[in-house]
Structure 1
Amino acid sequence: MAFSRPLASCMLLVCLLFSFSEAREILVGGKTDAWEIPSSEPESLNRWAGASRFQIGDSLGNIPSFYSKLFTHLASLFLLL
């Protein structure tokens, strides 16, 4: 029983360390159609990137509209279960 308390403390510490080291997936431009050529202002993606904060391990990407709609439908299906 005396061994389980230090073990639990170490496990909690490891979990906290992993939670602080998580990387994020960032949708470029903040919306699904932002990867396309901007129609109004050519510097809009530069402005978005300047206002965003990136960290080591983050990945930038774009979700095609088909996949984003599919993901939305699947997420709503799982919420109903």
Structure 2
Amino acid sequence: MTVRRRPLTVDQVEVARTLHEHGHPIAAIATHLDTSYNNVRQRLIKEGVQLRPPLNGDPPTPLVSESGQYCKALALREQQSGSA
């Protein structure tokens, strides 16, 4: 049995785009949105986002700092959508 993930919502796509544009890796974005890497990657490609090459072992930038604060890009996006 194949499990299909739900497609990303319009708001999730905008969050993914914003985070990716601010340098966050797709894997971290997928974890944050509770979806798969491929789901985020394929949707970014569909939206015409230029993907970066993999980090080659460098640690990813966390979406949430050690103090529990979201990255500025995510906080800005949430503020603009009125969900903050």
Identify the structure with the greater strand proportion.
Answer: 1
> Shared fold (TM-score greater than 0.5)?
no
Q: Which structure would you say has the larger Rg? A: 1
* TM-score when normalising by structure 2: 0.24
